[in-house]
Homo-oligomer: A and B are copies of this chain.
């Protein structure tokens, strides 16, 4: 070997070493850069390394790497009310001109008067009436357009941002990190499946076929030779609490190995995920940061977290402190 060649080899070795460095800790290369170092971030990394290391006792083949995420309060803000409820109220106000009778009919009058106490008193029946008036009686294509249009103009009352901007940066990173390790990421939400599908691919990287949610009965109708799927005012499925494992079975057909939620509505999804044999990861996002977001748990109307807090330790679920675990809240 000539001296020239030795020089080239040494240079190459130096270049390779320098290039390799970021993989050993440069912050810019951290796939979970929005997470503060600590037990929860480490638990995520340890879990992913365990299930992706071939030959490891915990190894899970790629097709079985299923991770499920609740949406409201887990991936995006759910206060001061669920975004889908804000959408329904805005729709009532937008449609009121065509319904003069709403000015004197409950629960519409309560919405038009911003009278939340009367609205709350209208209960489940009142909510169903609102869903019927705002979410049904049109084709799925038309509903998709209505949702998409609303999201481009509506803004959150506190942050004055579009709702799709109020998604949690650490959770976006977590989904990316899992996908880059062979996981399929699914949303499993109590929210309406067709309310989420128009935007989950763009915002979360989750395509429509990986969205599980509540649904209303839809009917296939052919009018003048043109088929459409028409949304009716009848509830088909509620994807909440014990409904979540059922929705997971129906849409995924496999038990997840990782699940992420934030409320007692996610309890059974976490339980179903973590009670199987093999390495499992269950995490609960705890809203304890009233400065950057909201602080609520056991007494909240939206996203109540009570039994989950009590049982997390015994179940092996990790409680994510938004205040302490998250360096960044939103992507903006």
In contact, B208 and A220 (Cβ under 8 angstroms): no
Q: Are B201 and A271 in contact (CB under 8 A)?
A: no
A312 to B117, CA, bound (A): 57
A209 in complex: contacting residue of B140, B184, B222, B275, CB < 8 Å: B184
Quote the shortest CB–CB distance from A119 to chain B (angstroms): 30
Q: Are the CB atoms of B271 and A222 closer together than 8 Å?
A: yes
Knowing A184-B209, A245-B229, A275-B226 are in contact, say whether A253-B193 is a contact too (CB < 8 A). Answer: yes
Q: Considering the chains assembled together, what is the distance between the CA atoms of A229 and B254 in angstroms?
A: 12
A79 within 8 A of B: no
With known contacts A63-B201, A209-B184, A209-B251, A246–B268 Cβ distance under 8 A: no
> Is A207's CB within 8 Å of the partner chain B?
yes
Minimum distance in angstroms from A271 CB to a CB of chain B: 6
Q: Given that A193-B253, A208-B252, A209-B251 are known contacts, is A271 also in contact with B219, CB under 8 Å in the complex? A: no
Shortest Cβ distance from residue A52 to the other chain B in the assembled complex, whole angstroms: 18
Are the CB atoms of A250 and B220 closer together than 8 Å?
Answer: no
Interchain CB contact under 8 A, A227 and B184: no
Which A188-231 residues have C-beta < 8 A from chain B?
193-194, 197, 201, 207-211, 215, 218-220, 222, 226-227, 229
Among all A-B residue pairs, the 5 with the closest Cβ atoms: A208-B253, A220-B242, A220-B245, A197-B253, A209-B252
- Supply 10 A–B pairs (Cβ within 8 Å), ascending by A: A63-B201, A140-B249, A197-B253, A209-B210, A215-B250, A220-B243, A220-B245, A220-B272, A227-B275, A250-B251
Question: A residues bordering B, Cβ < 8 Å?
Answer: 63, 66, 140, 184, 186, 193-194, 197, 201, 207-211, 215, 218-220, 222, 226-227, 229, 242-243, 245-246, 249-254, 268, 271-272, 275
